[in-house]
Amino acid sequence: MKVFSNIFTKKNLSGLAVAFLAGLAIGGYLWGSNNHDLSLSDRPLAYSEQAKEAALGANPQDQINFDLYWEVWDKIKSNYVDTNKLSNQELFYGSLRGLAEATDDPYTIFMDPEETKEFADDLAGTFEGIGAEIGLRHDIPTVIAPLDGMPAEKAGLRSGDKIYAVDGEPTLGLSLNDIIKRIRGPKNTEVKLTIIRKDEKPRDISITRSIIVTKSVKTEMRKDGIYILQISNFNNDTQQLFNEAVSDILMKNPKGLVLDLRNNPGGYLETAVSLASEWVLEGPVVAEQFNNNRRNEYPARGQARLKDIPTVVLVNGGSASASEILAGALRDYKLAKIVGETTYGKGSVQSLSDLSGGGSLKITVAKWLTPAGDYINDKGLEPDVKVEMTMDDLDNDKDPQLDKALEILKIKNK
């Protein structure tokens, strides 16, 4: 997720179609001009001929009567039972959301100005909520990852939990944005999630919201000479914190390195490429495939300061998008062993565009592939060494995945 102008430099978001429970993905633009006033007396008549031609193209099968939009608008405004509760702005934004949802792609999303600001706060790492990310899995809202040490994790929410109700209201039929709005809220207030975990019966988990402030990179130099580098997101602070970590690693010269990408939902593609370049000396880190058969490769940047340090990467079902790009590159170049569980499987790239009026639009513009050409969407990355984390492990503060990583590194050092 800097994918805001070219690969999260302001335009391409490799981020998970995930939503921090403080903000959502980004929103959309219809076909018209934001200079139009949307009151009924002033509305544009199907917009200009030039705009219609640009939207419809030359194919006769694409001919659409845009007056139908206003016909529906009129009937809702005239006949809807609670029309006094429905503003023109809400109607208009709702139509834009529907336009984005018509792509049938969970990562193409319209966000109004308020949601856009919330999303920006998420990327900055400061927001009010429960501290978790959710996405859609088979149209069911699913916890991708609870953030380390945040209220969601402390309350017992786990990666893979399916959310069936929020404060007793079913999530069935709701958009991801609507679900997240219900879960978000001011600090010191409580939200109750009804979740189903694997084959267990539904359970309620009550979570007290808080101010969520996160640093995306954490480090630890163990006494046995192994360095732990944990990256929880690829957001605004990741590059600087990672650079500081690399300097610390080079100074301490560890025997091995554990790169922990578990429960990392992704973020800026550009940052993932930059981080991978600390292991990959040359060659593509990731490739994008666009709808016109155009292919764009992102080459390593020639740093590779960590390439000679034995590395193990930890992943699980909460590892998605940019974290899968990083893990996939290290796997394909045989620069690290991948340990843990199959990753989430987010293999598309989004373009993020700011719109007049304060909204924004996130559109899936490309598929991404690992250096070896692996398209991981929906299937995820399979670890080299599969190690599951059970509920018993979590309840008793055991970490068999980390234990396996340490074992592999110690064998390498013998």
Please list the active-site residues. Answer: 321, 332, 346
Distance between CA atoms of residues 408 and 91, nearest Å: 57
Surface-to-core class of residue 161, CB atoms within 10 Å of its CB (0-12 exposed, 13-18 middle, 19+ buried): buried
- Find how far residue 208's CA is from the centre of its chain: 23
Q: How many CB atoms lie within 10 A of CB 246?
A: 17
Closest CA to 275 of 258, 255, 300, 247: 300
The secondary element (H helix, E strand) that includes residue 77 is helix 67-79
293: left (phi over 0), alpha (psi -120 to 50) or beta: left
HSE-up (13 A, CA, CB side) for residue 320: 31
Distance between CA atoms of residues 8 and 2, nearest Å: 3
Distance between CA atoms of residues 109 and 27, nearest Å: 5
Task: Output the six-digit token pair for 369.
Answer: 């592939």
14, 176, 196, 377 from 141: Cα distances, Å = 20, 7, 11, 18
Task: Output the six-digit token pair for 105.
Answer: 């792609």
